[in-house]
Chain A
Amino acid sequence: MIELIVADRCTDCGTCVEVCPANVLDAGQGGLPILARVEDCQTCFMCELYCRADAIYVAPDCDRRVTVDETEVMASGRLGQYRKHSGWDEWWDRFPNEQWLMETVFRRAGEAAAQAKVTSADVIRTK
Chain B
Amino acid sequence: MSVTTPTSAPAPAPEQVTGRRGGGAPREGRLGRLDQAASPYVYIAPFFVLFFVVGLFPLVYTGWVALHDWDQIMGQGAFVGAQNFVDVLTGQDFWTALVNTLSIFVLSSVPQVLAALAIAGLLDHKLRAATFWRMGVLLPYVVAPVAVALIFSNLFADRFGLINTLLEGVGMEPVRWHSDRLASHVAIASMVNFRWTGYNALILLAAMQAIPRDLYEAAAIDGASGLRRFVSITIPMLRPTMIFVIITSTIGGLQIFDEPKMYDQFGRGGSDGQWQTLTLYLYELGWTRADFGRASAVAVLLFALIVAVGLVNFAISRRIASEESR
A binds B: no
Give the A-binding residues of B (Cβ under 8 A).
none
